[in-house]
């Protein structure tokens, strides 16, 4: 590496990494960044460089093709944060490494063992079961091991604490780690997790396309009328008129109220469109009444990160759900690049099992992180914070409620001493939405782990054009932020968790 310009004096500790020998890791580059403007890898060519503190940037791979990077600051807080991926992964999550690095953490990320050509690309999985295993389970585990080895070689000591922080697929990775690799991290943040993967792909990604198929398609232009009608019916159920539903389960708005009286207009829903909303809120049930996947809940439908992105998309069959769902079924499940989502068998027929059963048998054990037994993670002193946007139009928030309650049932009432769930009113998928959606769960986790300050409340801000316009407490589930009855409803101090 870099022999041509090699100076006669000794290599720096960072540069030495590129010639060091590691049993299971190949280092492809190790370079010192002196601090200052840094051009982010994969950045838009027109994007301005970010300003970063001085750090050592090590890049390498594990095995055949599991690429990763570890960024190690000159002024290190002795801790590691590995960051998770989104969608079908396939890229190192550089952007998510910036904040931890600035805060003094060593930080790492992996592409989980494949490179994709965009968020809707799943062709890399076809005929590559090893890649599927890395993506679903092993990639994040190997990242933890590689990160600790590199950090040990660079600083001379292992991290005092190691954390994982991810949302969506990153939340899935987080729960895989807590359940299957509990020795990797002693603190975990799991956001809007896709942990019940196979049922989310059937009941979310696929069902969204089926429910809005043909004349049931809802154009994005009609989403605001649904959002407004929901708010008119349910916003005040929590006592505060703020365009946000504190607990959407109390909202029982009937979409038939929007049914067109006569001809279809921009202000009403046709009967098939009403039926689509009902299907999306109902989720998927088998004919014998088993809930395969819970539906979405009302609230937060409007906005760029709402239904217009995930469900309606820019045209029929082009929403975010199908964009991720179709490649999964084509390249992971049915091994057929031309597979048509209309052919999916929700029920057994003609002597065949349902495709849900087929999928679960093929990939359920690998992908689904739904084991409620977190005893190994608890025993090693692990702390975990999970959060989920109550207005997530991608992964239904009921998934997080269901998983948390399953753990509570299994692990008992002391569960909250090591694992807490924060439902975020008015937050869409991992960010955005009408609520107060800016918060720092990593700091809450670190305070819990290192200072023994449990997260009894986490303050969230609503930021509009860079200005904080509202603060609210987030509360450990099942507590909810309740207005005390006096004072500004834009100020967290006037709310309490109960
Ligand atoms: Ca409200």
What separation in Å is there between the alpha carbon of 481 and the centre of ligand 1? 11
For 356-421, the DSSP string reads HHHHIIIIIHHH-------HHHHHTT-EEEEEEETT-SSS-THHHHHHHHHHHHHH-GGGGGTEEE
- Any bridge partners for residue 473, and if so which? 459
> How many A from CA of 299 to the centre of ligand 1?
10
Token pair listed for 208: 């969204």
Sign of CA dihedral 181, 108, 122, 113: negative
Q: How far is the CA of 111 from the centre of ligand 1 (A)?
A: 39
Helical packing angle, 139-155 and 169-180, nearest 10°: 80
Phi, psi (deg, nearest 5) at residue 55: -155, 165
- Indicate the pairing of strand 106-110 with strand 79-83: parallel
Domain extents in the chain: 13-195+372-451, 199-366
Instruction: Kindly give, in sequence order, each residue whose CB lies less than 8 Å from that of residue 404, ignoring residues fewer than 6 positions away.
Output: 386, 419, 421, 477
Ligand 1 geometric centre to CA of 252 (Å): 14
Report pLDDT for 315.
92
The two structure tokens encoding residue 319: 């929403």
Distance from the CA of 462 to the center of ligand 1, in angstroms? Answer: 14
With beta carbons less than 8 A apart as the criterion, state whether 392 and 299 touch. Answer: no
pLDDT of residue 9: 57
Full pLDDT tens readout for the chain, 498 residues: 444 444 445 678 999 999 888 999 999 999 999 999 999 998 888 888 899 999 999 999 999 999 999 999 999 999 999 999 999 999 999 999 999 999 999 999 999 999 998 878 999 999 999 999 999 999 999 999 999 999 999 999 999 999 999 999 999 999 999 999 999 999 999 999 999 999 999 999 999 999 999 999 999 999 999 999 999 999 999 999 999 999 999 999 999 999 999 999 999 999 999 999 999 999 999 988 999 999 999 999 999 999 999 999 999 999 999 999 999 999 999 999 999 999 999 999 888 899 999 999 999 999 999 999 999 999 999 999 999 999 999 999 999 999 999 999 999 999 999 999 999 999 999 999 999 999 999 999 999 999 999 999 999 999 999 999 999 999 999 999 999 999 999 999 999 999
Ligand 1 centre to CA of 246 (Å) is 6
Q: Are strands 458-464 and 383-389 parallel, antiparallel or unpaired?
A: unpaired
The neighbouring-strand residues paired with 37 are: 51
Q: What is the pLDDT, as a whole number, of residue 349?
A: 87
The alpha carbon of 55 and the centre of ligand 1 are apart by a number of angstroms equal to: 45
Active site residues: 168, 392, 429
* Cα–Cα distance for residue pair 126/137, rounded to 1 Å: 17
Please name which of 492, 385, 387 lies closest in space to residue 448, comparing C-alpha atoms: 385
CATH architecture of 13-195+372-451: 3-Layer(aba) Sandwich (3.40)
Expressed in angstroms and rounded, the spacing between residue 400 Cα and the centre of ligand 1 is 21
**Whole-structure pTM value:** 0.96
Q: Please give the pLDDT value at position 44.
A: 84
């Amino acid at each position: 590496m870099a022999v041509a310009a090699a100076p006669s004096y000794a290599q720096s500790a960072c540069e030495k990494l590129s010639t060091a020998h590691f049993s299971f890791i190949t280092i492809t580059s190790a370079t010192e960044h002196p601090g200052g403007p840094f051009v982010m890898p994969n950045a838009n060519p027109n994007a301005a460089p970010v300003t970063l503190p001085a750090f050592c940037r090590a890049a390498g791979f594990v095995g055949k093709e599991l690429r990763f990077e570890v960024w190690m600051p000159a002024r290190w807080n002795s801790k590691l944060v590995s960051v998770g991926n989104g969608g079908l992964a396939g890229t190192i999550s550089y952007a998510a490494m910036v904040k931890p690095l600035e805060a003094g953490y060593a930080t790492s990320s992996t592409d989980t063992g494949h490179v994709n050509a965009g968020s809707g690309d799943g062709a890399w999985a076809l005929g590559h079961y090893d890649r599927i295993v890395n993506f679903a389970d092993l990639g994040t585990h190997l990242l933890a091991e590689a990160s600790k080895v590199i950090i040990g070689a660079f600083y001379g000591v292992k991290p005092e604490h190691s954390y994982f922080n991810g949302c969506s697929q990153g939340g899935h990775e987080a729960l895989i780690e807590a359940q299957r690799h509990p020795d990797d991290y002693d603190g975990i943040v799991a956001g809007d997790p896709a942990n019940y993967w196979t049922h989310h792909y059937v009941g979310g990604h696929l069902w969204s396309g089926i429910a809005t198929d043909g004349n049931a398609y809802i154009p994005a232009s009609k989403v605001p009328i649904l959002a407004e009608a929901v708010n008119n019916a349910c916003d005040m159920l929590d006592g505060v008129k703020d365009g946000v539903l504190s607990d959407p389960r109390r909202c029982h708005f009937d979409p038939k109220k929007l049914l067109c009286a006569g001809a279809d207009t921009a202000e009403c829903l046709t009967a098939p469109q009403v039926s689509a909303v009902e299907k999306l809120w109902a989720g998927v049930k088998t004919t014998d009444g088993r809930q395969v996947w819970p539906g979405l809940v009302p609230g937060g439908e409007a906005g760029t990160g709402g239904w217009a992105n995930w469900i309606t998309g820019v045209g029929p069959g082009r929403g975010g759900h199908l964009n991720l769902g179709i490649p999964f079924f084509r390249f992971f499940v049915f091994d057929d690049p031309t597979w048509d989502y209309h052919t999916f068998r929700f029920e057994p027929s003609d002597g065949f099992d349902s495709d849900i059963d087929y999928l679960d048998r093929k990939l359920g054990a690998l992908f689904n992180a739904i084991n409620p037994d977190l005893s190994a993670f608890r025993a090693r002193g692990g702390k975990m914070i999970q959060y989920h946007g109550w207005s997530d139009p991608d992964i239904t928030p009921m998934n997080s409620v269901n998983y948390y309650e399953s753990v509570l049932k299994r692990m008992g009432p002391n569960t909250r001493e090591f694992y807490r769930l924060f439902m975020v009113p008015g937050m869409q998928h991992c960010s955005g939405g009408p609520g107060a959606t800016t918060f720092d769960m990593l700091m809450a986790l670190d305070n819990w782990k290192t200072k023994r300050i449990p997260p009894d409340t986490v303050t969230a801000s609503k930021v509009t054009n860079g200005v904080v316009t509202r603060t609210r407490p987030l509360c450990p589930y099942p507590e909810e932020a309740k207005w005390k009855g006096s004072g500004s409803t834009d100020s967290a101090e006037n709310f309490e968790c109960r």
